[in-house]
Structure 1
Amino acid sequence: EWLRKRKKFVGNFALERSQHNQLLEELQQDIQKRQNYLQYLMRYRQNQLLMMENIEQFETRLRSESATCNRYLMAVCVRLFFEKRQAKLAEFQEEFARLTVSDDKIDLIEEFVEGLMEELLTPGAILHGMPEWQAQEARLSIERILLTRLYQQVMFPNEDADLSRDTVLSEHISKLQRVISPSHPALCIPQAYLSEAPWSFSQQQLSYISAYKTPREKLQCVIRCISSIMSLLHMSSGRVPAADDILPVLIYVVIMTNPPFLLSTVEYITCFIGEKLEGEEQFHWTLFCSVVKFIKTMDYLD
């Protein structure tokens, strides 16, 4: 009964062959029109995405250039400020040279910086009324000028002993470079991560560490190095890498980079800002220090 009713229902809408062919032709034309419109929408969407990407890149460049201009402006202001206080700066350097204990030296630098910042922010001073971020940039500029003048004293407080120790480690790492590879069994780097080896960009970021004078700037080189490693490992595996994933790759990167004065750099950063680190900065710095300690114990077996 059901089948009979279905046939009767279809029969009521039966079409002649010419009508049937005409209907199919119209449907095909409609599909073609929709297809053309769909292609137009896809091209329009692609153009929009490309334009959005260009705008984002332009905004990134603008922010970078703006930050560079702000840093340069603050540096100029601080240099002008220092030009009028050469006698005070010379007195500070003499007092610093007389100190022998590292903690006393750090306290003296912080006290001197705080005093200069108070002068910069007093009514009528060059930075009076400026926002907090500019005051922070001015502080960094002051630290950069001071630590550039005192660099040899703060970086190598024990002079030849520190240099000798750094040389020994550098030679040790040079020997490791001859036997180490991304697939070396001592590193245990998972196969999934080897596609991005030898992590040249990370090595490049770490190699910049000797070009900077302040501990904060040196730390940023370490952070950029580890962040780039994390990004590459994430691209290789599709998941967020853990500390155990990062460590063996970071060991390889440090060995292949072999930054100069590595032990002195670690102590310099730890001494001046180690206790102030928190969150992501502390995580990155802890990883890096662990890697340096491990490299010191490595042997040269294949």
Structure 2
Amino acid sequence: MMWAEHRRAIHITQAELLCKNGCGFYGNAAWQGHCSKCWRDRTCQADVGEQDCGDAAAPPSVSKEKKSEEKSRRSSTIRKLFLGEATPPKGPDAPLSQAEALKAFEALQPGDFTAFLKLLRSPASQRLQSRCTAFLNTMEAYHALAVEKQSDLVQEFYQNIAAHFNSMPEEQVEQMMEHMEKLVMTRLHKWVFCHDSCDDEQKDLALQRRIRSLKWVTPQMLRVPFTDRGPEDADPYLPAITAIIEMDAKRAPQDKLCCVSKCSRNIFQAVGSCKSEPACADDFLSALIYVVLCANPPRLHSNMQYVARFGLPHALRTGETGYYFTNLSCAVAFIEKLDAAALGLSPDEFRGFMQGGGATGALGQAQQVRQQLEELRRRQEHVMEQARSLQAQLRSWAESTQTRADEVASGGRSSE
């Protein structure tokens, strides 16, 4: 195709997907190109710097008293959030009970959230259940906190709870934390999603308007591999479009990431079927941009921010889900900054399309001509294929007729 001969304008290297600090994890546009760990470390350093500046300006006695009060308040908050009101079991049966509970958790099948909840309610897991209940009650009581503070508390809770399972293999610890994330965030979703302290709702509306204004963008403009299909054929990227729309209906960050992964895997399948070869990273990103433009997913910005703030760090920084989520962030950033050069158009052509008049201009006429030529080419190939099939049938009929005539002639001579 003509558009396939142009230099690909949508290109991103593996290095651009990784954290700016060079830690080897995937970065994210929400964290200015850093991974979640480096971004939180950077934020903590900035907070410490501001606190040090404030302490330096205060008298030594006031500063020391302030630090003591802050430390006492922080310790009290941590105990309230993570230990709860229940006291830990004492006596010789306590270690045995905890060991039995951990052994039961180890025996869980991956993804069996119902069995995890049953174990969490057992007497042996009373301490763990008490910590979760205390944390959830405290978060709901202080739901008016700024969303970034809520995110810090949830991430700190993950770290403290992960220590409870540190005797297990790393893979099983991740499975336990996925269950814990689903338990916590399913309940906290209504308090922290699209929070009043941030401008997520305004950005959602702005992104939706931006995507609607780009509804004229075609797969050819984005260099998306696309097969020739008739009006009755379904869009090969429809399963991916459906999957990304479903993300808004999920509550837990991991379930939203599952929708992103499902969408991405469907894109790879569609690209592979269109190209008859494995998809490359550039094809995947182009197709992902096309899918987002077609789907215009509801509250996309809020959903991505929710996952970034309250998702498990290992799910965002590494592995398949981390790669897919980083590419989704790149796709959204590309859409927000999409210009004429990225689509191979002139500024006037791009402006005409954005204003809704591009289809009546010279570019629109040229596109119509190219589409007509492409349609004529498909029809010609179809006619030629039918002609070749007819010729083969004629040859076969002629050969069978000649054979039959020879048989009849040889039979007549034999009878004579």
TM-score above 0.5, yes or no: yes
Evaluate the alpha carbon distance shift between residue 112 and residue 188 of structure 1 in structure 2; reply closer, same or farther with a 3 A threshold: closer
Report the counterpart of residue 285 of structure 1 in structure 2.
325
1:224 correspondence with 2:262: yes
Identity %: 25
Cα shift at 1:229: 0.9
1:213 correspondence with 2:251: yes
Q: Any residues of structure 2 matched to 1:79-158 within 5 Å, and which?
A: 88-89=134-135, 91-93=137-139, 96-97=142-143, 99-100=145-146, 102=148, 104-115=149-160, 136-158=174-196
Q: Distance in 1 between matches of 2:305 and 2:176?
A: 25
Q: What is the identity, as a one-letter code, of the residue corresponding to 1:284?
A: Y
For 2:251, what is the secondary structure of its paired residue?
coil
Please, which of 169, 189, 205 is the counterpart of residue 224 of structure 2?
Answer: 189
Q: Distance in 2 between matches of 1:270 and 1:159?
A: 16
What is the aligned-residue RMSD (CA, Å)? Answer: 3.5
1:271 correspondence with 2:309: yes
Cα shift at 1:101: 6.2
Cα shift at 1:155: 2.5
Cα shift at 1:136: 4.2
Q: Distance in 2 between matches of 1:67 and 1:279?
A: 17
Q: Distance in 1 between matches of 2:132 and 2:224?
A: 54
Evaluate the alpha carbon distance shift between residue 281 and residue 141 of structure 1 in structure 2; reply closer, same or farther with a 3 A threshold: closer
For 2:277, what is the secondary structure of its paired residue?
coil
Q: Distance in 2 between matches of 1:274 and 1:118?
A: 14
Cα shift at 1:199: 0.9
Q: How many residues align?
A: 225
Please, which of 180, 184, 187 is the counterpart of residue 217 of structure 2?
Answer: 180
Cα shift at 1:95: 6.6
Cα shift at 1:132: 6.9
Report the counterpart of residue 288 of structure 2 in structure 1.
250
Report the counterpart of residue 297 of structure 1 in structure 2.
337
Report the counterpart of residue 235 of structure 1 in structure 2.
273
The answer to whether the 8 A contact 2:201-2:299 is kept is yes
Please, which of 91, 106, 113 is the counterpart of residue 71 of structure 1?
Answer: 113
Q: Distance in 2 between matches of 1:140 and 1:290?
A: 25
Deviates more, 1:197-206 or 1:88-97: 88-97
Report the counterpart of residue 46 of structure 1 in structure 2.
none
For 1:269, what is the secondary structure of its paired residue?
helix
Report the counterpart of residue 60 of structure 1 in structure 2.
none
Cα shift at 1:282: 3.0
Cα shift at 1:90: 5.2
Q: Distance in 1 between matches of 2:276 and 2:332?
A: 28
The answer to whether the 8 A contact 1:155-1:264 is kept is yes
Q: Calculate the TM-score normalised by the size of structure 2.
A: 0.46
Deviations 1:6-65 (A, max 9, x none): xxxxxxxxxxxxxxxxxxxxxxxxxxxxxxxxxxxxxxxxxxxxxxxxxxxxxxxxxxxx
Report the counterpart of residue 12 of structure 1 in structure 2.
none
Cα shift at 1:98: 5.8
Q: Distance in 2 between matches of 1:281 and 1:96?
A: 31
Cα shift at 1:222: 1.0
> Structure 2: which 5+ residue stretches go unaligned?
1-108, 339-349, 359-416
Report the counterpart of residue 52 of structure 1 in structure 2.
none
Cα shift at 1:250: 1.1
Evaluate the alpha carbon distance shift between residue 297 and residue 113 of structure 1 in structure 2; reply closer, same or farther with a 3 A threshold: closer
> Structure 1: which 5+ residue stretches go unaligned?
1-65, 123-128
Report the counterpart of residue 73 of structure 2 in structure 1.
none
